């Protein structure tokens, strides 16, 4: 009887992390930007049916990159958790932090398990507050790690290149149109070479708008509004 093939725990975790990172990097980037009246999500996504950006609850938005079926399962689970908590207790008990913790536990458990492959996804969970200083943005990676994000962040695709552009050009207090133009320019940046042209129809944009009178602050922008924002230079 031959001895079973041995892989050290360190090597196993490294291989699983490399596998997840490569899958995520094949996707197109998603940007989250804090602007004067809320939080904007901007993704390069030519599909009109398969969304990367969605609403979870009244003040909470969700964005993801990676394998669609995997992050769609996570989105649905988040909606169900939020609905259950809001119904069982109070709507104010549903928070971005609570959802981020739940997602972190799920992703961490899957990543550490040897019985299934790690999820090839990264997530943003954002909650808009009455004041910009109290907005919450969390970035979750494939292994369940959580980062508290301030003002802007990028995941998926050429994330480092896009993040460098944002860090150089972002200024606090941007209007919504300016935030959309900044995000589009960051997605189109090409490491010192001539920037790509991104058409409004290939962008998916949604916002958490604190100025909305409705309890639900999530709003998806139509292509006409995106085109107007990009044209208003």
54 close to 208: Cβ distance less than 8 angstroms: no
Assess if residue 67 is contained within a domain: yes
- Measure CA of the first residue to CA of the last residue in the chain; give whole Å: 72
Assess if residue 1 is contained within a domain: no
Give 48's contacts (C-beta < 8 A, 6+ positions apart). Answer: none
Assess if residue 125 is contained within a domain: yes
Rounded Cα–Cα distance for residues 63 and 75 (Å): 9
44 close to 198: Cβ distance less than 8 angstroms: yes
The fraction of the chain above a pLDDT of 70, given in percent, is 94
Rounded Cα–Cα distance for residues 146 and 229 (Å): 32
For residue 194, pLDDT beyond 80 = no
Assess if residue 147 is contained within a domain: yes
Q: pLDDT per residue over 37-64, tens digit each?
A: 999 999 998 888 899 999 999 999 999 9
What Å distances lie between residue 207 and 35, 141, 189, 219, CA to CA? 10, 22, 22, 5
Assess if residue 208 is contained within a domain: yes
For residue 232, pLDDT beyond 90 = no
Number of structural domains found in the chain: 1
Residue 184, domain CATH:
3.60.20.10
Rounded Cα–Cα distance for residues 17 and 52 (Å): 22
Q: Domain range holding 208?
A: 25-231
Query: pLDDT value at position 30?
Result: 95
118 close to 20: Cβ distance less than 8 angstroms: yes
Over range 72-101, report the average pLDDT.
94
Assess if residue 62 is contained within a domain: yes
Assess if residue 30 is contained within a domain: yes
Assess if residue 15 is contained within a domain: no
Q: pLDDT per residue over 160-183, tens digit each?
A: 889 999 999 999 999 999 999 999
At 12, phi and psi to the nearest 5? -60, -45
Residues in the chain: 233
Closest C-alpha among 163, 56, 74 to residue 118: 74
Give 174's contacts (C-beta < 8 A, 6+ positions apart). Answer: 33, 35, 36, 182
Assign 233 a pLDDT band (cuts: 50, 70, 90). low
Assign 198 a pLDDT band (cuts: 50, 70, 90). confident
């Amino acid at each position: 009887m031959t001895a079973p093939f041995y892989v050290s725990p360190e090597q196993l975790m490294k291989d699983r992390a490399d596998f997840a990172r490569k899958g995520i990097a094949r996707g197109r980037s998603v940007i989250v930007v804090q602007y004067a009246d809320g939080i904007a999500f901007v993704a390069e996504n030519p599909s009109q049916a398969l969304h990367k950006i969605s609403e979870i609850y009244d003040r909470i938005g969700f964005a993801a990159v990676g394998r669609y079926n995997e992050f769609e399962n996570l989105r649905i689970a988040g909606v169900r958790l939020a609905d259950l908590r809001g119904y069982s207790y109070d709507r104010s008990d549903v928070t971005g932090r609570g959802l981020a913790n739940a997602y972190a536990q799920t992703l961490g458990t899957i990543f550490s398990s040897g019985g299934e492959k790690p999820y090839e996804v990264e997530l943003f969970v954002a909650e808009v507050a009455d004041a910009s200083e109290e907005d919450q943005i969390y970035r979750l990676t494939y292994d369940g790690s959580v980062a508290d994000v301030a003002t802007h962040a990028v995941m998926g695709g050429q994330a480092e290149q896009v993040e460098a552009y944002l860090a150089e050009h972002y200024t606090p207090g941007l209007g919504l149109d300016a935030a959309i133009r900044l995000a589009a320019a960051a997605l189109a940046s090409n490491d010192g070479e001539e920037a790509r042209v991104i058409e409004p129809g290939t962008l998916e944009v949604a916002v958490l708008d604190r100025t909305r009178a409705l309890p639900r602050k999530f709003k998806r922008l139509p292509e006409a509004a995106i085109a107007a924002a990009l044209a208003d230079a």
